[in-house]
Amino acid sequence: MVGFDCDPEIKEVSRMQNRKQTKPRPIPGRNMSQKRKAAVPMRLMRTPKQVDVNITNECNLRCKYCYHFGSEDDTGRDLPAGEWLFFFEELGRCGVMEVVMAGGEPFIREDLKEIIQGVVRNRMRFSLLSNGTLITEDVAAFIHATGRCNQVQVSIDGSMPVTHDSMRGRGSFKKAIEGIRTLQRHGINVEVRVTIHRKNVLDLEGIARLLLDEIGLAEFSTNSAGHMGLCRKNAEMVQLTPAERSLAMETLLQLNEKYGGRISASAGPLAEARMFRGMEDARRNGLTELNGRGCLTGCSGMMSKIAVRADGVMVPCTQLPMIELGRINRDSLEEVWRRHPELNRLRRRCEIPLGNFAFCAGCEYIRYCTGSCPALAFTLSGDPYHPAPDACLRKFLAEGGRLPDRALLC
Ligand code: SF4
Ligand code: SF4
């Protein structure tokens, strides 16, 4: 994330970042055209490529680590379809390419087809994130017929009911697998996301066998539950201990090797295994720096996409629902995207040196670290402009975590 211009307001944002940071204040939606103009990074696209919309607050499940319920994302009010359809017309005019619909559970909406038709009518493609339990033949046939679906992502957390249902509720495994089969029968591209927690960490091999061998997916992705939403009150039951996290890292690396790289991760134990091992190797080899490290990470998502809560409030990302940027159908997407000061401040997060933080003082990894993503940082520190304690290698090792063998990464 480079190439910003040198507008004075951006410089001011940078100076603010380097002062002591406080918890971010939500910025109520405003008519952006009436605001003074803030700087626009030079490489920023005129409008986002992708928009993530939570089309409902409702869900038929209550997963024990759900980020939605119990967080600012659960606004309790769903917009009528007409509001989404009007917004999609704006997205179409802006040249947005993909709308990713989630919730809650998007398939719970009885007017889902009407909402999808709005996306298609405006010449965009779409994806859906689902628990898989409400997918019928009828809706799968409809999705296929649009010819515009990139993928439906279904969450699977176990190779059998006892592991999957432990967090997602009785009967959900069977229905989710049926949902995947239904999508496959209709030729829809299915992506599976596995959230790793304390009840399935010993089932990872079984999960890989089920998804890759039996169901025949090309690949699946993994993550772990962040300390937000319902996970806050269920953390003991959900979040991996350092020993379990170490085991998950090793097991996933071994399975990825066995399955020829068909397991991916941008967060969670598999991503951490690679990141942590690289940091330790850099420290041992005495590297003076690693490219792009030593400062907070700049989330690339904020250069290409924006999100909308189920009540129509635009936010930087679905995982940062507390930072309000404006309201759809009242504020211009393009203005919010290019000029909202908080969004531009998040884009400049990558300029904040880790040396600014007392949390990182004296750390041997400081030149090789990024402090992880702003949403993860917010969950424990209450500040997205801070390193994420949950992703801190020094803390992980101090608590008894162990790094995976280097040979597993070759
Ligand atoms: S994690 Fe997804 S499926 Fe589970 S309760 Fe939350 S919204 Fe529903
Ligand atoms: S203390 Fe943690 S977050 Fe800070 S530089 Fe070290 S490993 Fe990274």
- What digits encode the pLDDT tens for the residues 93-113? 999 999 999 999 999 999 999
pLDDT band at 322 (very low <50, low <70, confident <90, very high): very high
- Per DSSP, the residues of 92-158 read HHHT--EEEEESS-GGG-TTHHHHHHHHHHTT-EEEEEE-STT--HHHHHHHHHHS-EEEEEEE---
pLDDT band at 43 (very low <50, low <70, confident <90, very high): confident
| CB count in 10 Å sphere of residue 166 | 20
Distance CA 341, CA 372 (A): 22
Write the burial class of residue 214 (CB in 10 Å: 0-12 exposed, 13-18 middle, 19+ buried): exposed
Is there an atom of ligand 1 within 6 Å of 105 CB? Answer: yes
Tell me what the mean pLDDT of segment 199-218 comes to.
Answer: 98
pLDDT at 350: 93
Mean pLDDT of the chain, nearest integer: 90
Tell me what the mean pLDDT of segment 148-162 comes to.
Answer: 98
pLDDT at 30: 35
Calculate the CA 117 to chain-centre distance: 25
pLDDT band at 7 (very low <50, low <70, confident <90, very high): very low
> What pairs with residue 153 in β-bridges?
129, 191
Closest atom, ligand 2, to C-alpha of 371:
3
- What digits encode the pLDDT tens for the residues 276-307? 999 999 999 999 988 889 999 877 889 999 99
Tell me what the mean pLDDT of segment 25-48 comes to.
Answer: 52
Q: Which ligand lies nearest the alpha carbon of 380?
A: 2
Q: What percent of the chain is predicted at pLDDT more than 70?
A: 90
Using the mean position of ligand 1's atoms as its centre, give its distance from the Cα of residue 108 in Å. Answer: 11
The residue assigned the tokens 């993994």 is 222
Distance CA 381, CA 114 (A): 41
Give the C-alpha distances (Å, rounded to integers) separating 212 from 92, 172, 260: 36, 20, 11
| CB count in 10 Å sphere of residue 67 | 22
pLDDT at 109: 98
Write the burial class of residue 30 (CB in 10 Å: 0-12 exposed, 13-18 middle, 19+ buried): middle
Q: Which ligand lies nearest the alpha carbon of 66?
A: 1
Angle at 372 between CA 368 and CA 377, to 5 degrees: 135
Residue 168 has pLDDT above 50, yes or no: yes
pLDDT at 11: 33
pLDDT band at 410 (very low <50, low <70, confident <90, very high): low
Distance CA 38, CA 344 (A): 8
| Residue environment code for 183-201, b if the CB has 16+ CB neighbours within 10 A, otherwise e | beebebebbbbbbbbbbbb
Residue 406: strand, helix, or coil: helix
Residues 99 and 126: beta-carbon distance below 8 Å: yes
Closest atom, ligand 1, to C-alpha of 131:
3
Using the mean position of ligand 2's atoms as its centre, give its distance from the Cα of residue 196 in Å. Answer: 23
Q: Which two tokens stand for residue 90?
A: 């704006």
The whole-model pTM stands at 0.89
Residue 40 has pLDDT above 60, yes or no: no
User: Is it true that the peptide bond before 286 is cis, omega within 30 degrees of 0?
Assistant: no
Is there an atom of ligand 2 within 6 Å of 96 CB? Answer: no
Tell me what the mean pLDDT of segment 330-349 comes to.
Answer: 96
Tell me what the mean pLDDT of segment 333-362 comes to.
Answer: 96
Residue 19 has pLDDT above 50, yes or no: no
Closest atom, ligand 2, to C-alpha of 389:
3
Residue 404 has pLDDT above 90, yes or no: yes
Q: Which ligand lies nearest the alpha carbon of 294?
A: 2
pLDDT band at 4 (very low <50, low <70, confident <90, very high): very low
